[in-house]
Amino acid sequence: KSGVSEKNINSVVADVTTSDGQDQLVNTTLKKFGKLDILVNNAGAGIPDTTGAKGTDQSIDTYHKTFQLNLQAVIEMTKKVKPHLIESKGEIVNVSSIAAGPQAHPDFVYYSLAKAALDQYTRSSAIDLIQHGVRVNSVSPGAVMTGFGEAMGIPQEGFKKLYDFMAQHKECLPSRVVATPEDIANIILFLADRKLSSYIIGQSIVADGGTSLVMGMQAHDMMSILTAP
């Protein structure tokens, strides 16, 4: 679909929450291409609680699993590719989320916590690694039509209904348009291209159609309310 030749693609099926899976990803890439230029930490999901609990009632096991995928795997992958990226003067792009805040997300307590921690890790690792010539940045998507819902145990049709609702209400999505994976991929490409973004270090680009900028009252015509007879 992308038009990229197969010889330039390394397809790996691995669990990045395991050391073996991480090593498989790194080692097969090095074997095929001889070096590492860019690490994109894109694996992530809101882990559903096995008991069906919501909010603060979710189990500590769910907390650990959520952090293992959304934060710990990023830290471990960064440590493993660090020497290779120092050698190539490469780039790291983390995929965060607007769920990181500052708005509250009671339905996704642990996921939002993990993404907030990821944002701080992006900032801290960026300052640590830039001394070696390696840049670290991130992108924080809002609503994107992907298979994310299925990873949470929610049928894709359910997320489509949610996104259709958001697109019809400006207090949810001012742009009235749900992003595609390509929209986010283009931002990742920008952050991974040193010619285009060399002076951006430790930042997160928010790509959410305006969602995080809108408070409930702002979504309505305040002037018409203020001036109404």
Q: What is the pLDDT of residue 177?
A: 87
Please, how many CA atoms are within 13 Å of residue 65, restricted to the half-sphere of its CB?
13
More confident residue, 62 or 165: 62
pLDDT in tens, 204-227: 999 999 888 886 655 556 556 556
Check whether 126 has a pLDDT greater than 70.
yes
Distance CA(138)–CA(130), nearest Å, equals 15
Element (H, E) at 110: helix 109-130
Q: Are strands 38-41 and 204-207 parallel, antiparallel or unpaired?
A: unpaired
Question: Is 110 a known active-site residue?
Answer: no
pLDDT in tens, 77-117: 999 999 999 999 999 999 999 999 898 888 889 999 999 99
Check whether 129 has a pLDDT greater than 90.
yes
What lies within 8 Å, CB to CB, of 61 at 6+ separation is 50
Q: What is the pLDDT of residue 183?
A: 96
Residue tagged active-site, from 110, 111, 121, 163:
111
Domains of the chain (ranges; CATH) run 6-227 (3.40.50.720)
